[in-house]
Structure 1
């Protein structure tokens, strides 16, 4: 198994693991605030956007972010909406294929950003109902921030 195949399998497992029994506006608020607090405690500046369908439930931009981060978050979230996978999954898949999103899927990179930082909100029995997107951190840290907060939140829910 290649490094990319191993990471893709890990990301699929993570998406399977990090599912909700239910998801409300209050859930979005709690998760959004937890992401912001975690980033701030680490001295990081991020933009966080949580949507259920087309409704924005939570948005916050830390000092030090810009409108560019809003755009990145929206472009990453479109990946989740289109493909039903985290944007990090698509980033790794495209990297492994050696192709861009325009080459492989004929999608405009100005509208779709296949880079880590957007995660599907899955509710057991209902499927994907929304997205959580973070922008502002280097490498795979946007994705890792979302996953770690979801893991902690869902552990407390059980």
Structure 2
């Protein structure tokens, strides 16, 4: 029999913050720019010199900013929802960057663990297992960066 896990760290709800504005400067940049630095992935965006790409990138960035700025959810909750959606949709290529954003938005590692556990019940154990592997990778990288 294993010992029960310690309870999640107590948190005082953070005041909602306005999202940082951002742009999609490169053809490979993903939505999230300044509010999700490094959130790049296989977005299949056209080359930045393509006249259609600049319009697409501008609209994508504007849409992302509009959604992040909506009232009703604080950044921590938005990050928890994003993590759940990424695991459910098996968008593991973007999960690490969104875990980093969730940490910056105020979620603790224990809360991220609980989001993934909750997601596993509804979205599948295999998806959650992959999410845990990525979260552990991010934790190691963030720990090494802080040394």
Larger radius of gyration: 2
Question: By percentage of residues, which structure has more strand?
Answer: 1
Larger relative contact order, structure 1 or 2 (CA cutoff 8 Å, min sep 6): 1
